[in-house]
Amino acid sequence: MNKLIQENRIRPTIGIFIDSRDTSDLLKNRRNSQFACNYQYFEFVAKELVAEIDLNYRTSQNAKDRAILGLSFGGLNSACFGLLASDIFNGIAMQSPATFPVPDLIKYYEQSEKLPLKFYISSGSVKDFRMPTGVFYRAIKNKGYPVKYQKVRGSHNWNNWRPLLDDVLIYFFPSQKVSGTDRKA
């Protein structure tokens, strides 16, 4: 992020990274329970964590200046946040989203009113939920959402996700020079 800011490719931006491991036992990962559209997790992030960040940092409280990114189950979580928290996060980034724990996710988007969301979705070509990701992409595109979809060579791992992080940040937080806007991070 710092390099992209210094190169004036993105505007000043704060990144918050949430560790899904249990703090009392770091070998226990809570992602399966937290990221499957868990309303308690949503409440924590939307009501407690965002408020704490806004209190302690100079942030924009405009949802257009906020995005949530998730990988795999975290991608599913990002899509759920789009439905539940479009007033907090307008940017929804999903890398290799594992949408199967919520089989009605596409239906929820199709049946809801169009929300003020912008999507970035990516999937790899090998063992990476490419077919269901493509179905989700087509559904939100047909609904009229702005969306950037990238299919890349690779599978369900950081070798696929890491090279796309710059693209995600530039898509959601372009510098004034690139975007022509005067929004602040």
**122 in Cβ contact with 95 (< 8 Å):** yes
CA dihedral 74, 183, 51, 16 (to 10 degrees): 40
State yes or no: pLDDT of 108 exceeds 70: yes
Domains of the chain: 2-11+29-179 (3.40.50.1820)
Q: Which pLDDT score, from 0 to 100, does residue 182 have?
A: 46
Q: Which pLDDT score, from 0 to 100, does residue 89 have?
A: 96
Q: Which pLDDT score, from 0 to 100, does residue 173 have?
A: 97
Q: Which pLDDT score, from 0 to 100, does residue 178 have?
A: 53
State the Cα angle at 126 between 124 and 129, rounded to 5°: 65
Residue identified by tokens 């868990």 is: 38
25: which strand partners? Answer: 22
> For the chain, give me the number of helices (H) and strands (E)?
10, 6
Q: Which pLDDT score, from 0 to 100, does residue 131 have?
A: 84
Around Cβ 157, how many Cβ atoms within 10 Å?
A: 15
Q: Which pLDDT score, from 0 to 100, does residue 96 have?
A: 92
pLDDT tens digits, one per residue of 134-159: 999 999 999 999 999 999 988 999 88
Which letter, b or e, does each residue of 60-91 get, where b requires 16 or more Cβ atoms within 10 Å of its Cβ? eeebebbbbbbbbbbbbbbbbbbbbbbebbbb
Average pLDDT of the segment spanning 31-42: 84
H or E stretch including 93? strand 91-95
Distances (CA, A) of 80 to 4, 19, 59, 104: 28, 18, 23, 11
Q: Rounded to an integer, what distance in angstroms lies between the CA atom of residue 51 and that of residue 148?
A: 29
pLDDT tens digits, one per residue of 83-106: 999 999 999 999 999 888 888 999
